[in-house]
Chain A
Amino acid sequence: MNPQPIAQQKSGVDLSLIGLLLLVIRRDLLLAMRRRADVLTILIFFVIVVTLFPLGVGPELNLLRTMAPGTLWVAALLASMLSLGRIFSADYLDGTLEQMMLIPQSLSALVLGKMVAHWMVSGLPLVLMAPVLGLQFDMSAEALGILILSLLLGTPILSMIGAIGAALTLGLRGGGVLVSLLVLPLCIPVLVFGAGAVEAVTSGISPVSHLSLLGALLLLAFVSTPWVTATALRISME
């Protein structure tokens, strides 16, 4: 007997965990594609914040080169904070979330799907945009490569930790500011190791230790945050 039909027998619906995950991701991506302006706003915000720094501190290239990793990382952190409200709030407002929580499969898997979709919509565009902005700061090709790698490892963690905050502040007044207050302190390690990796490579040290720590954080977040977020959702929805 193959193990797949167990979910089938219990629920009567042919939906394995992977199937559920893919379904949620596809649904959220489709919804995001119907509202493309939202995705673009985050990207434009990211570009504007990064652009403000050279204007603020002056166009001195040596200074900009040393600031670049930190600036890009902070901007990415702020941009991903901005989009956190969207993970659950639309579904919460029209009642879909309540229906979703009734699924017989694991709520954690559903939440993981929403996190992945959120990252693909708000994190991945930032990763793809970052090298172009890095060129404005006169970063070397090697540093740009590490920047992309560190953002690729780091931005999913931001989406995952952010989802906890979004679930905890679901439907609260002033939720947007509150979620930043809750989530930003928890994101500091990601910022430190992410920007640290790029700084290491520009000062001639191997970035491997920073990237390994980021990878470890990603794995830790992958294992724990879906469950924590599911618990937070249950608290907020009861």
Chain B
Amino acid sequence: MDTIELRPEVQAQIQALGRADIVVGIPSFNNARTIGHVVRAVQAGLAKYFPEQTAVIVNSDGGSTDGTTTVVQQSGIEDYSAILLHHRVSPIAKLAFPYVGVPGKGSAFRAVFEIARSLNARACAVVDSDLRSITPEWIELLVKPVLMNGFDYVAPLYHRHKFDGTITNNIIYPLTRALYGKRVRQPIGGDFGFSGQLASFYLDQDVWQTDVARFGIDIWMTTTAIANSFKVTQSFLGAKIHDAKDPGADLSSMLYQVVSATFDLMENHAPVWLPIRGSEPVPAFGFEYTVGLEHVSVHTGRMLAQFREGLANLQEIWREVLGAGDFSEVQRLGVQSDAEFKFPPALWARVIYDYALAFHRKQMLPAHLIKSLTPLYIGKTAAFILAADAMTPAEVELEIEQLCLAFERDKDYLASAWAPDHLELMNKE
């Protein structure tokens, strides 16, 4: 496996450092506004919870033009006595540089993995650079399970608004859980902890010229860890609040990136997921507490209009992907009134499985296929919002649990259509 070439000055810094116990990576692209806070939180976390360990903060930047790397270099905690009782023994080194390779978060992470391996790091963490809610405790919660408890991968657990994370709640979590049998609640959270051994394993995979380098690194990391039997856990980090999103971000492109990455992984790990039925909980660290979350406004009427627009215009594609049976059920949803609109969990599970099968059979161009899922996803999201409107957060979790169980119940449908021989073998056993 070829390694990436780091700049000579970065290599010199790595050589000067020699080794490190902990590496914290912060991928960035034009995040000068928020990255200072993230760097300070990471520094404080390392100083407070890992005073005896040598640590390095790595900012792997995608060629920012707003001075992100300068902000990283200049950000720091002037006076540790304000937040700590004891001074840290060793200073925290910072590396900020533009990564090389295919532009994308995956390439940024690859540079972090490379540095972790060069420094022989025992534990690593990566956090997003646009976080407004990160606290020093996040570093403890992401790193300690690796350093102290022997886990290889730490996925985040957040408190989010009940209407947020709808791709995660309605597609990625139920699908990943049903496929691999592990209840990792935020498989694409973006903030992860992992062992040096797992970083090295990631680095050795032949994916760095693929879409994993561009997008889909989050689900790839989670799935790779689970599918290769690394010890996986979760840590409760509190609220996840980002910097304001790009209002021009296209939902169908976002859906394509996340869903195609997940479907691609299904191809690679079919022998792993095909025999799995049901799921088991994944241990969790951290003290769970409720947090006040920002108000989120939604317009279900417009979302349902978009779903019906899809039904009117994309029926040829949907019929081809879903088959006559599931498509006629989707058609029946179109005549429901806005107030009573419901998308049955079992039907949604089969829709996602049908799309996974169409992707597997290469029924059409992946971008066309997955983007044609957008109106269905919007319909499902609208149904979820309508159902969850009067629910407490705990009740919303129960609703998501019901959806996950529907995915698990229908897994035979997916497995038998994916590999009929495999199911026959399983039944014989």
Do A and B pair up? The answer is: no
Instruction: Give chain B's interface residues, CB within 8 Å of chain A.
Output: none
Instruction: Give chain A's interface residues, CB within 8 Å of chain B.
Output: none
